[in-house]
Structure 1
Amino acid sequence: MPRDSLPELNSLGFAKPPAETRVVVAMSGGVDSSVVAAQLHDEGYDVVGVTLQLYDHGAALAKKGACCAGRDIHDARRVAEERGFPHYVLDYENVFRDQVIDEFAESYLGGATPVPCIRCNERVKFRDLLETAKDLDADCMATGHYIRREVGAAGPELHSAADANRDQSYFLFSTTPEQLEYLRFPLGGLASKAETRALAARYGLGVADKPDSQDICFVPNGDYASVIEKLRPGAADPGEIVHADGRVLGTHRGVIHYTIGQRRGLGIGGLSEPLYVVKLDVEGRCVIVGPKEMLATRTVPVREINWLGDTPLAAGQEIAMAVKVRSTRPPSEAVLRPKGDGTAEVELLSPEEGVSPGQACVFYDPGTSRVLGGGWIWRGY
């Protein structure tokens, strides 16, 4: 068919009018997803808003203003009512506890530093909710994430957001190619959050000035330990703080209160050198501390790899790429060596400090914005 006779695609990539294109929008009640829903509705799409109740918003774990707590559900519903499209609230509390909260607790008790937001995207929003969207006969599902979906020669690709300060690619590395076919991210190309808020004001949304959520939705004020103690009573047993050279320096109030790389709040003042948490011995209930140079790591073992490259990974390859080992750090040069069983070794060309089991290692194509997937950091083979 000649190029000039090909059907014109709408803004979501479908060869039909927006009014004939149904899109489910995952609405958290925040400004980002509200703008996505309002904008698509304004463009004439058949929008259906869906909000997930992820936990009992009256329970002790929840906090005012947390994602998908009572206030957020109300805000999402109000946006849908004012704009005139249907909105549903789905009770995913049991799924969220089984698939996200319980693993978070077990990982933390095991001395890891988990990232439950990634598991929520992977196991709840982009799996169960995505299937619900298909059951509603939606052509696609849109979210308010700051990331870009671009169609390349081999199909849809995942790319970092245009605004590096808002980029959420670290939290979406486990998005599969099949999911990427169905997902849309309308905000990924915006230059700043200010543009999003300006759009919210233009559409007259009551959430235009709503503050961004800063913490994990079920962790009040970032206090992980208090949540773990509620979920696993007795988990905060005290033990010894031990220097890497074997000296006992003091006692701690439970391994769950400490993370790799932590310096403040150790309660072992009066020493001549600054000390950092370099290891957590969960079975021995010991917090091991040492000088900063002990945190430097060049070799990072990863598993559960999700690969988004155009050609499959194979054991024995050495692939130059950029990687992020924490969400707050820029990508750094590395070499990926796949093992062929869903695991790999990542060699950092420059040592990184505070690399912790339970965090993600996300892969990027060097010199471009493309996300090539990633894996979970663990203790070794």
Structure 2
Amino acid sequence: MLDHPLNSLGFAKPPSETRVVVAMSGGVDSSVVAAQLKEEGYDVVGVTLQLYDHGAALAKKGACCAGRDIHDARRVAETMGFPHYVLDYENTFREAVIEEFADAYLAGATPVPCIRCNERVKFKDLLATAKDLDADCMATGHYIQRKMGDAGAELHCAADANRDQSYFLFSTTPEQLDYLRFPLGHLASKAETRALAAKYGLPVADKPDSQDICFVPNGNYAAVIEKLRPGAAEPGEIVDMSGQVVGTHRGVIHYTIGQRKGLGIGGLGEPVYVVKLDPDARRVIVGPKEALSTRVIPVREVNWLGDAPFDSQAEWHINVKVRSTRPPRPAVIRPISATEAEVELLSPEDGVSAGQACVFYAPEGSRILGGGWIWRGR
């Protein structure tokens, strides 16, 4: 008897015998993934995480995994006829993501909580739950591709560069990648996703994309931090690079590296930017644009997705991205250990900030080689 051919998720058995847990946020992307897999005949189980109290002031109507989104995910499951569960991960999310977010801002860093959520909640605890449900794999609506290479599963950028989410998924480990599937990564545009949603008659087909961090209403980071850490926004001095006081500020948490607008200072003869934050002294340091230029970046907590061990050679000549909105640039990475490195940019970048991710890309092709966290600004 011949072995069964591989199904679309890469298993040598019929879809009906393949259980897949779909992480459903209530948005159109994950809903389409669930609907498509159900239509293909897979044994689909939808799971939505309640990540915070959607009745609290911290939450935002229409944000990921707030009350409306749980309702929408449930409606999609009812429409397509598969089971759906809501899991309360509120305490986990607060401890693993929100608390660190607040502490990072207080320390003068610029955190990326969406990466920590993927790393510490969705691809850790939820993935473990999927295994407990005897699922063969877990699927998400992320725009990224998983491809099989000579050494196993590889992570690749989405076909649609405008939707690519590789910056937010660099910390996906090889073990997690073995278990994860990303059915939307090959689509050419978001319009294709919405067309599929309409085809399946999903109630979320025209639902707008969420733009903000789910627990930050209207992008107001400072208000959330002040709620979590009362008294965090203490005023202080704005000084130039020589230490001369040029103004006052209303709290270091209101400022980020590279910021130019909203400083409330003038008469300096040239535009100035935030070049450093000193939360201990409650100081915001400003300077000319050239003072933002950074060539050498220390990174830690490196997650390496290359075929050879990260510290198996002295240098890696690859491309890196230091902000989600910027294209990858050529760099030399010098490993210090299996999880720490020094990144030297061939062309300096402006506004590099501690707390951001530095994501590694192959110099040719679409493969993501991992990344690390920028841990010391400037």
Q: TM-score, normalised by structure 2?
A: 0.98
- Mapped to 2, the partners of 1:174 and 1:16 lie a distance apart of 30
Matched-pair contact (CA < 8 Å) for 1:316–1:339: no
Report the Cα distance in structure 1 between the residues aligned to 2:173 and 2:276, rounded to whole angstroms. Answer: 33
Of 242-251 and 170-179, the range deviating more from structure 2: 242-251
Whole-angstrom distance in 2 between the partners of 1:149 and 1:76: 25
Q: Is the 8 A contact 2:146 2:155 kept in 1?
A: yes
Match of 2:180 in 1: 183
Assess if the C-alpha contact under 8 Å between 1:315 and 1:337 holds in 2.
no
Equivalent position of 2:328 in the other structure = 331
Q: List gaps (5 residues or longer) in structure 1.
A: none
CA distance in 2, matches of 1:251, 1:42: 60
Where does residue 55 of structure 1 map in the other structure?
Answer: 52
CA contact (8 A) 2:321 2:328 kept: yes
Q: d(CA) in 2 for partners of 1:269 and 1:191?
A: 47
Cα offsets for 1:127-183 (capped at 9, x unmatched): 000000000000000000000000100000000000000000000000000000000
Aligned residue for 1:211? 208
Q: What is the match of residue 31 of structure 2?
A: 34
1:266 counterpart = 2:282: no
Query: Match of 1:157?
Result: 154
Secondary structure of 2:310 counterpart: coil
Please tell me whether residue 309 in structure 1 is matched to residue 316 in structure 2. no
Alpha-carbon distance change, 380 to 68 in structure 1, aligned in 2, over 3 angstroms:
closer
CA RMSD of superposed structures (Å) = 1.2
Amino acid at match of 2:358: C
Render the CA deviation track for 1:197-252: whole Å, top value 9, x for unaligned: 00001111111111101010000111110000000000000000001122211100
Deviation, 1:316, is: 5.7
SS in 2 for 1:13: coil
User: Of 146, 163, 167, which aligns to 1:166?
Assistant: 163
Matches for 1:272-287 after TM superposition, within 5 Å: 272-287=269-284
Comparing 371-380 and 123-132, the one that deviates more? 371-380
Trace 1:51-200 onto structure 2 (pairs within 5 A): 51-200=48-197
Query: For the residues of structure 2 that align with 1:173 and 1:194, how far apart are their CA atoms?
Result: 25
Percentage of pairs with the same residue: 81
3-state DSSP of counterpart to 2:29: helix
Distance 1:342 1:248 in 2: 39
Read off the aligned partner of 2:172 and give its amino acid letter: T
On the 8 A contact 2:354/2:377 being kept in 1, the answer is no
Question: Any conservation in 2 of the 1:297–1:352 contact (CA below 8 Å)?
Answer: yes
Partners of 2:310 and 2:339 in 1: how far apart? 9
Alignment size in residue pairs: 378
**Structure 1 residue 380: Cα displacement:** 7.3
1:292 aligns with 2:289: yes
- How far the C-alpha of 1:6 sits from its partner, in A, is 5.0
Conserved in 2, the CA contact under 8 Å of 1:297 and 1:355? yes
Contact 2:144–2:155 (CA<8 Å) still a contact in 1? yes
Question: Is the 1:38–1:83 Cα contact (8 Å) retained in structure 2?
Answer: yes
Q: Which whole-Å CA distance do the structure 2 matches of 1:237 and 1:106 have between them?
A: 15
Quote the Cα distance in structure 2 between the aligned partners of 1:210 and 1:380.
38
**What stretches of structure 1 move > 2 A for 4+ residues in a row?**
none
**Aligned partners of 1:129 and 1:185: how far apart in 2?**
15
Return 5+ residue gaps in structure 2 as ranges: none
- Name the SS for the 1:349 alignment partner: strand
Q: CA deviation at 1:341?
A: 4.7
SS in 1 for 2:118: helix
Contact 1:315 1:340 in 2 (8 A): no
**1:270 shift after superposition:** 3.2
**Contact 2:4 / 2:14 at 8 angstroms: preserved in 1?**
no
